[in-house]
Every structure is written in structure tokens, then in C-alpha cells.
Amino acid sequence: MIRYLYSACVAGITILVLTTVAFAQTKAIDAYKKQLPLARNDDQRLSSILLLCSQYRSMHPDTLRHYLEQAQALISVTGTAEEKAQADFYEVILLNRAGKTDSALSLAARYLSQEDGTLSQKLRTSFDLAKCNLLIRNDRIKEAIESALSLLHRSEVSNDPFTVMRAQTVIGWANMELGKNRESLDWSFAAVKTHDTYDTSMLISVVYNNIAAVYNELDKNDSAEYYVKKGIYYAEKEQDLTYLTNGYYIYSDICVALHEIPKAEYLLKKGLAIRKQIGDVFYIVSDLAQLGVFYANNNQPQKGIDAVKEGIALAEKNELTSKLPFLYSALAKNYKAAGDLVNYSNTLNTIITLKDSLYARNSADALAEMQTKYDVQKKENIIIRQKYDLTQKNIMFYGVAGLLAATLLFGYFYLQNRRKAQQIKIQAMEMEEKKKTTKAVMQAEEEERKRIAGDLHDSVAQKMVVAKLNLEVLGNHLENIAEKDQQIFDNISTLLEESTTEVRNLSHSMMPKSFAISGLTTSVKEFLDKIQRSNLRVNFSAEGNFEVISETSALMIYRVIQECVLNVLKHANASRLDVSMIAEQNEVDVMIEDNGKGFDVKELDAGPGIGMKNIRSRIEYLSGRLDITSNKGQGTLVAFYIPFHH
């Protein structure tokens, strides 16, 4: 009963918010503004202005800049170091909104590097969280998670539930950006639990919005709608227009999934109107792109074109180049929906140029997924351009030559299409043959490994054991031999014993016994347990159901892990090696990370070694994907993803 009353309350507040004409400011902002004329001196006025600036999530950047400049002027005369740092925190916020994330990160890092205790714990936490936000915006998700985990640890030690919840929220958001839905929900619900346990004045609306977004991604629309209404309710209660707008956009996506298109459009427009009043250009540009995609998907291309062009102009004006590919993709969808093939083709060319530029500025690993989309768009652009050119040729031939030209043109296209069809068929046959050849080579290689391992274990090792036994029997008959001869006899016995052990180890490494008995994860663990290096700490974890993987796939995954670990042992000079395996969502995710000396990934493209070629060929055969991230002096991360069925 309570839940239904709560839902009714949320629905009522939502309707009230949606019918509001404008969001010029919140009650909190009004209250702080009224305090300004009551200030008796500069100290009181400065405190009031800084309190007003604390409402930055519901304030336009120009308004925030106006009050921040007043605060900075007062600080230069009577301000303390803490007040100067507080003003610089709002400067970080402004730089972030202007898209100058590098400058914002630099300013935040300058304060976080101070160890003299001049910065209060509350303000240090604010800089920490701002840094995490900036890292996520820059797609540096791993660094953001590491920073948030460090903040979480410190806040747990100092028993600071407010910061604990905010750190948990950031980690949940970062995992959501990585597509790790389960981890995102775990961290978000942990934040909800912290909030409910300590009942402090913590911002909870963003957590509920994130939970709703993940459930929407998982197609659990009822759960998503329930949590987004809670997010909107708390955002309105907290008077936080940024999180309120985020709630509208998430709710709009849910409405699209529920086929409530008019409501979805209304939410998008209302969210955009509030966002423009807040003035966060980074989000305004994203919102305009999302609105454009919505119109393209709902057969309103002219509205979509107008919205996206507005977003492109804003992005170019504010140098938000990372947003341009998304905007032009939305524009292309609208041109395609409108049947405007010429502008569609030209827009795809623009996307290719933008992505070429981005590719030149970033590493190949960071843009691996973008490269795939780039290739698809490039091919699609060629097809569209060909269709357009052929249409022009048809018009010319029909106008000049009439029926004869049409007949010739038909014959020409017929031959061309037949030739292309034959070429496609030949390419498909070649690819299939290549796949069969690769499979045969892989299977033959594994069979040969099994045969050699069996021969070593069953023949060579056994014979060496027998030889050792015979040698021991012989030793029992040798009495009173010279000390020199006894030394030779002992050396032979020792060498024979060591050789037997090495042959057995080699046999097990080529085909571990545990593979047939216990499977992939046990074999990997036993392989790692055999690593004997005092200066290397090895960590291993495995989650999920690995039994659904075929024996062939499991064996090849084992070989890839084995090759990667051997590369670390040979070249990395590392003190830590982490190997993790996750089997979920019809995919096996494997990550091998070390803190060694690293290398330049471009060198692999210049001339990869035999080991790396073996790794890539196995992953390619398993229809998987390989990502390698490394920089000199910063360790190496090798991650590969293999589908259960290929």
C-alpha cells in the first residue's frame, strides 16, 4: 500500500514539474540571493556568494561566472586559503561545462597534490569527485574507477557515509559507461543502502537515475520506470535541475521502449529546455543529438535535422570535437529517413573525416571499436555514392539515347551485377576455405601437442624412470668405489632425476591433465600456481559458468592465456600479474594485466612476433576480439572477448 501511495505521489510531482513553464531558478537559489543584500560586511557577503555558487548544478554558467567573479574579487582582499580553494573548485566546474576538461583536470590535480593539510576534507572530496567526473567525460574510465575506489577506501576509514555513497555512485556510473550492467547495479544499490542506513542529506536522485538507465538497457522497462520516477521525485526535492533533466531523458528512453512516443517527445523537449537554462553545453549538445535520433526513428526527419544542426553549431563554437561524430551520425540518420541520399552521402563523408582526425590523435587501441564502425560507414558511403552516380547516368542515357541506351544500360548493369555477385561468392568461398584451413591447422596443432605430450609422459618419462631405478640397483652393487667415481655416479643420478621432472612438466604444460578432468579454470589456476618467482605476485579470479564452452574453444583460450603469461615472464619484469576470467552474457572475458615496463603498441603492428601471431590467429578463429593497452613504464593490459558459440 505504501509503495502505491509513493508512486502516486511521484506521479503527481512529475506532472507538476512537467507542466511548469520555466525553470529560471530554484527555491534554494532564491533564498541565497535574498541573503546577499542583508550582508553587513565583505566576509558575510563572500559567504553568501559562495553558498549561492554551491547551487551550480541548477545554474547557468554565465550566472555562475558572474557570482564567481564577485567572490574572487572579495577573496583577493579578505579571503582565506580555504575560500580561494572553494572558488577554484567552481572554476573547475565552469571549465568542465565549457568543454575545457584538460584545464579543469589540471586545476583539480594541483589542489589534490597538496599534502600540507591546508585543504579541508570536504573540499578535497569535492575535488576528488570532480576529477572522477572529468575522467569519465574523457573516456578514461579505468582511471576514474581507480580514483573513486581510493576515495571510497579513505572515506570508509574516516567513517564518512556521505563520501562513501558518492564514491559508490561514481563507480556505478563508470561501470555503466563500460556496459558492465551487473557491476553498475551492485554499486548503485550499495549507494542506496548507504543512503538509507545513515539518512543523511545525500544526493540520491542521480543513483536512482543510473539504476533506471541500466534496467532500461536490460529491457526491464517496469523496473526502469519505477526507479526513474524515484529519481525525478528526489531531484525535484533536492532542487537539482541537472539530475532532474537526466531523469527526463532516461524516462523518455523508457517511454520509447513502451511505445509512448508523444510522452517521450515531450520529456525530451522539456529536458532540453531546462538544460539550456542550466547552460551545460556538453550535455546540451548530447541532448540535441539524442533528440535528432528520436525524430529520425519516429519519421520526423526535418525536426531531427534542425535539432542536430543546432547541436553541431554549439559543438563547433565550444570546441567539443568529441561530440561531432555522434551529432553527424544523428544527422545522417535523419537524411536517410528523409530519402535525401545526396546529403546522406556527404554527411557520411564528414563522419569519416572526423573519425580520421580522431584516429590520428588517439591510439589504435582506444579507437578499435570506432574503427569497425568507421569501415562500415565508409562502405555504406561508397554504396550510396555509387547509387547516386548510377542514377545520374541513367537520367543522361535515357534523355539522350532513349530506348536503345536503356537497353545497353540494362545489359551493362546486368553484367556488372552478375560479376559482382560472382566476386562476392568467390570471396565468401575463400573466407570459408580460409576458416576451414585455420580450423584444420589449429586442430592438427592441438592433436600434435597431445601426441607429443603423451609420448613424453608415457614413453620418454617412463623410460627415464626405469633408467633411474636401474641406476639405483647398479649403485647397490657398487661398493668401495673411488670417491671420484662415486661423484660421477651421483651426478648421473641427479641429472636423470631432474630430466624426468622436466619432461613431466613439459608434458603437462603441453596438455595439462586437469583439462580433461576439471576444465578451463582449474587448468589455468594450476598453470599459474607453477610460476615460481619470488619477486612476482600472481592473482587469479574466475566468475561465471565455463562449462558451456566447447572443449576446443576452452583449449584455445588456455593457449592464449599461456602465451600472454609467458610474454610477461619473458619481457615485462613485473612485480604483479593479475589474470581474471568472467563468463557471462554469452561471452568469455579474459584480462591479463601486469605492472611491468610496458611497450609501444604500435611496434606490434610494425612486426608482431610469432607468439602474438598465434594469439591473434586463435582469437580470430574463435570470432573474438583482442584489445592491448600498454605504455612504456606503465604496464600492459591484454583483454580478449570470446563468444560462447562461434
Q: What is the pLDDT of residues 242-268, one digit of tens each?
A: 888 888 888 988 998 888 888 988 888
Separation between Cα atoms, residue 502 and residue 457, nearest integer Å: 11
- Which strands form 576-584's sheet, in the order they lie side by side? 537-544, 576-584, 587-594, 636-643, 625-630
- Rank 6-15, 51-60, 418-427 by mean pLDDT and report only the highest: 51-60
Element housing 565 (H / E): helix 551-567
User: 170-179, 313-322, 333-342 — which is least confidently predicted?
Assistant: 313-322
Separation between Cα atoms, residue 461 and residue 505, nearest integer Å: 10
The strand pair at 636-643 and 625-630 is best described as: antiparallel
pLDDT at 450: 57
116, pLDDT greater than 80:
no
Query: Average pLDDT of 283-287?
Result: 80
Mean of per-residue pLDDT scores for the chain: 78
- CB contact set of 166 (below 8 Å; sequence gap of 6+): 125, 129, 191, 202, 203
3-class SS of residue 345:
helix
User: 75-79, 327-331, 419-423, 595-599 — which is least confidently predicted?
Assistant: 419-423
Q: How big is the CA angle at 426 (ends 422 and 432), to the nearest 5 degrees?
A: 145
Query: Average pLDDT of 390-411?
Result: 68
Separation between Cα atoms, residue 92 and residue 108, nearest integer Å: 7
What are the boundaries of each domain within the chain? 39-122, 515-643
Query: Average pLDDT of 568-582?
Result: 92
Backbone angles phi, psi at 483, to 5 degrees: -60, -40
pTM: 0.47
**C-alpha 546: how far from its chain's center?**
24
Query: Average pLDDT of 500-521?
Result: 62
Separation between Cα atoms, residue 90 and residue 68, nearest integer Å: 7
Topology of 515-643 in CATH? Answer: Heat Shock Protein 90 (3.30.565)
Asked if residue 595 lies in contact with residue 636, where contact means CB atoms within 8 angstroms, the answer is no
Separation between Cα atoms, residue 336 and residue 381, nearest integer Å: 12
What percent of the chain has a predicted confidence (pLDDT) above 90?
12
Rounded to a whole number, what is the distance in angstroms from the first to the last CA of the chain? 49
539, pLDDT greater than 70:
yes
Residue 380: band (very low, low, confident or very high) from pLDDT cuts 50, 70, 90: low
What percent of the chain has a predicted confidence (pLDDT) above 70?
75
Asked if residue 574 lies in contact with residue 536, where contact means CB atoms within 8 angstroms, the answer is yes
Angle of the 261-278 helix axis to the 2-18 helix axis, nearest 10: 60
Asked if residue 555 lies in contact with residue 563, where contact means CB atoms within 8 angstroms, the answer is no
Separation between Cα atoms, residue 598 and residue 634, nearest integer Å: 6
Residue 391: all three cell numbers together = 542514377
pLDDT at 367: 37
Q: How many residues does the chain have?
A: 646
Asked if residue 449 lies in contact with residue 510, where contact means CB atoms within 8 angstroms, the answer is yes
Angle of the 368-455 helix axis to the 551-567 helix axis, nearest 10: 100
Asked if residue 305 lies in contact with residue 341, where contact means CB atoms within 8 angstroms, the answer is no
Query: Average pLDDT of 91-106?
Result: 86
pLDDT at 592: 94
Q: Which amino acid type is present at position 521?
A: T
| Residue scoring higher pLDDT (364 or 599) | 599
pLDDT at 272: 82
pLDDT at 575: 93
